[in-house]
């Protein structure tokens, strides 16, 4: 697995189709088959779904923090004077 997965990601990065869709799944399927394993395409699809879900969670966390104010008006100037800026 330590050799197969990085090889699959290298093949997936070749820009043959938009966003590499299909190329990575075919590469993972073929590489897993060479190693005598099943589920290569499914493993990559699962990884794509997992990263999409984590990206959405990160986006929600980011958007929630946009309204947060760390320093208000004069506090900024005072903080800059305190740190020597």
Please give the tally of structural domains in the chain. Answer: 1
Q: Which band of pLDDT confidence, cut at 50, 70 and 90, is reported for residue 10?
A: confident
pLDDT tens, residue by residue, 12-71:
787 777 766 788 888 889 999 999 999 999 998 899 899 999 999 999 988 887 777 665
pLDDT at residue 73 greater than cutoff 70: no
Residue 51 Rama label (left phi>0; alpha psi -120 to 50; beta): alpha
In contact, 65 and 46? CB cutoff 8 Å: no
Which residue range is the domain that position 42 belongs to?
Answer: 4-83
Q: What angle do CA 31, 32, 37 make, to 5 degrees?
A: 155
């Amino acid at each position: 697995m330590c050799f197969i997965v990085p090889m699959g990601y290298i093949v997936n990065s070749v820009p043959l189709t938009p966003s590499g869709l299909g190329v990575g799944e075919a590469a993972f399927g073929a590489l897993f088959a060479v190693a005598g394993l099943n589920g290569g395409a499914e493993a990559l699809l699962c990884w794509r779904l997992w990263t999409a879900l984590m990206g959405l969670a990160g986006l929600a966390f980011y958007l929630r923090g946009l309204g947060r104010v760390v320093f208000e008006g004069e506090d900024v100037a005072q903080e800059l004077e305190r740190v020597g800026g």
